[in-house]
Structure 1
Amino acid sequence: MRQDLSGSVSEFLLHVHDASARLAPEDFQMWTLRELQRHIDFDFAIWGAGDGHDRRLHRASVYNQVETLFQTWEPVKNEDGYADLVIGNTGKTWTLSQVPNVFRTRAYNEHWRLYDAREMLSTMQVDPVTGLHVFVTLSRDRLERRFTEPERRFKNLVTKHLFVAARHNDQAQLGRTGAPAALIDHLGHVHASLPGFIELIVDEWGAAAGRRLPRAAAQDLWQRGHHEALGLHLDAEPAGTRLLVRARRRAALPPSLSRRELEVAWAYANGKSQKMVARELDISPTTVHTHLRRIYQKLGVTDKGALALWLTRHG
């Protein structure tokens, strides 16, 4: 134990909440784990979020350990007794040694042992915004360095404040964008958002999209950095393990094109073949060809490049 923990809680939380207002989200979690190490000694730490039901990891900040840590967890995650304990008892703090015969299990020997995790201290709760299980786990590399009861109490007390501070940190980052914005993970789940962003998203795709963007939109944002919907334009930039996404309405539908023609035009201009457009819109290739012929006639363009330029200027 670094110091007498009884009087350090307020000081620690004051520093954390101050940092949440000024640090970027991609820096805040790592800074906080380093600060926590001044109060509780540990060798590596994880601050993550995932689905406690299928145990799919959505994001994680890994401190003082390899970033590929969870690759070896995938094959054994459903056999991990420590995960069972922590996921099944949210809001409390648990040590690895509380799992019976843990060092004989496949999950330990094929995963945690590889990273010298001899003792761990983990706290988890369900995020009220995303519905994901968020957690902070600390690890030590020697059995004789077990976490003490004062350390467990300290971590149990401060971790709930860390989760709140992280939400404040996300909102502070979004507030600096000057636009309707959100932070999403690689699966499209919305971790934090401004009200204007949710309004635009729900208008475009319905209420469910306010929690998770449509798969095609999320893929475009991660792969291309932008996505064009019928009435919405999204831009994205990396923000640590997530994306910072900005949204704005597109201009009103051009009166010369029908809604279906505009869908075909955008899909085709974005580089898809006529067959790919047909599959995406669930229509026949012949129908796509007919739509494109009419679109070209209406707009006075002769090729895909000219169509893309027209849509950029008027779409």
Structure 2
Amino acid sequence: MHSKRTADFLLNLHDASMFLSPAAFQEWALNEIQRLIDFDFAIWGAGDGKRRQLHTATILHQADSLFETWETVKHEDPFANLVIDNTGKTWSSCHLDGFHDSRAYREHWGRYEAKQLLSTMEVDPRTELHIFVTLARDALQQRFSASDTQLKNLISGHLFLAARHNDMHNLRSLQAPAAFIDSRGLLNAALPEFIALVVDEWGRKAKQQLPEAVNRSLWESGNYRNHRIALNAERINHRLLVRAGIFPEVRLSARELEVAWAYVKGNTHKEVARMLAISPTTVRTHVSRIYQKLDISDKAELALWLNGSGGLM
């Protein structure tokens, strides 16, 4: 029923998922699809469909700013409504009467000459993200055919599966706890050891999404660190590749804890010395040793550590 070209595409797709980088895989796949189904530009994206929030997108043969004009019309886009409300099937904008008269077409799709759209969407059971691939044509004369729709429906499932394998293959090659996260901190793909670390640190919710403060730090500075865990991030297209490491458990002696708590409460070295019946020089020695043990440099960092589990007395 399906041609040898389609069979070759599917074989090459799964092969490519094992050697291409995540940055290259989606663009390569979209270019290969164009050999099977003619289109003028394409989008491979993921996000929260119900809220109309786009998290990541690979855009082929069109401006990267494509979705900026969509923001004002996204809740009135009849084609988006059709695809999001009917996942697991391929839809054409030709299914919609009056699509070209809609505000979404006038103010968004029409600006990019997207006269025809063909889209398939699924919901990822792990992340609950809506993932989709949309093809667009800039003319109405040659409409997406029933055969195009059927072929698109067939290959889309393979696309999403191959992308998952591509992510996991690249993560495993790092030989370290690692994950891909999107702009909202959702774990698009993660190794079991990464999940175990973040769940141990922040609870079960971190199995799907990192805490907001952690995600913000990763996107702004490329790293996050507390006294137990360190995360380092590298930007890969519209996602972050995050590697995790843990610190050996650090314990302070009973006397060091007494000094530390007294010191962070605003007391001077002399005041701490009087409270604990020791000399100010001994207090300074303790504070210096505490900073060295914890790899910190000021009282604010010490207070943060003490208010974590490491400072319990």
Q: Which residue of 1 aligns with 2:23?
A: 26
Q: Is it true that 1:140 corresponds to 2:132 in the alignment?
A: no
Question: 3-state SS of the aligned residue for 2:143?
Answer: coil
Return closer, same or farther for 1:302/1:128 CA change in 2, 3 Å cut-off.
closer
Q: Deviations along 1:37-96, whole A, 9 cap, x unmatched? A: 011110000000010110100100000000000000001000000000000110110111
Inter-partner Cα distance in structure 1 for 2:153 and 2:241: 30
C-alpha displacement at 1:8, in angstroms? 2.4
**Max Rg structure:** 2
C-alpha displacement at 1:292, in angstroms? 9.5
Q: Which residue of 2 aligns with 1:266?
A: none
C-alpha contact 2:168 2:189 (8 A) present in aligned 1: yes
C-alpha displacement at 1:301, in angstroms? 7.9
Amino acid across the alignment from 1:47 = W
Q: Which residue of 1 aligns with 2:297?
A: 308
Q: Deviations along 1:134-190, whole A, 9 cap, x unmatched? A: 000000000112111111100100001100000000001101111000000111000
C-alpha contact 2:127 2:188 (8 A) present in aligned 1: yes
Inter-partner Cα distance in structure 1 for 2:71 and 2:264: 42
Q: Which residue of 2 aligns with 1:222?
A: 219
Amino acid across the alignment from 2:297 = A
What 5-or-longer segments of structure 1 have no aligned partner? 263-286
Q: Which residue of 1 aligns with 2:287?
A: 299
185, 189, 200: which one aligns with 1:203: 200
Return closer, same or farther for 1:289/1:223 CA change in 2, 3 Å cut-off.
farther
C-alpha displacement at 1:302, in angstroms? 12
Aligned pairs for 1:84-103 within 5 A: 84-103=81-100
Q: Is it true that 1:42 corresponds to 2:39 in the alignment?
A: yes
Percent identical across equivalent pairs?
A: 47
Inter-partner Cα distance in structure 2 for 1:185 and 1:291: 44
C-alpha displacement at 1:100, in angstroms? 1.8
Q: Is it true that 1:110 corresponds to 2:99 in the alignment?
A: no
C-alpha displacement at 1:5, in angstroms? 5.5
Return closer, same or farther for 1:137/1:300 CA change in 2, 3 Å cut-off.
same
Question: 3-state SS of the aligned residue for 1:120?
Answer: strand
TM-score (norm 2): 0.84
What 5-or-longer segments of structure 2 have no aligned partner? 273-282, 302-309
TM-score (norm 1): 0.83
Return closer, same or farther for 1:75/1:118 CA change in 2, 3 Å cut-off.
same
Aligned pairs for 1:261-272 within 5 A: none
Q: Which residue of 1 aligns with 2:279?
A: none
Inter-partner Cα distance in structure 2 for 1:167 and 1:222: 23
Q: Deviations along 1:96-155, whole A, 9 cap, x unmatched? A: 121121111111100000000000100000012211000000000001121111111001
Aligned length, in residue pairs: 283
Question: 3-state SS of the aligned residue for 1:178?
Answer: coil
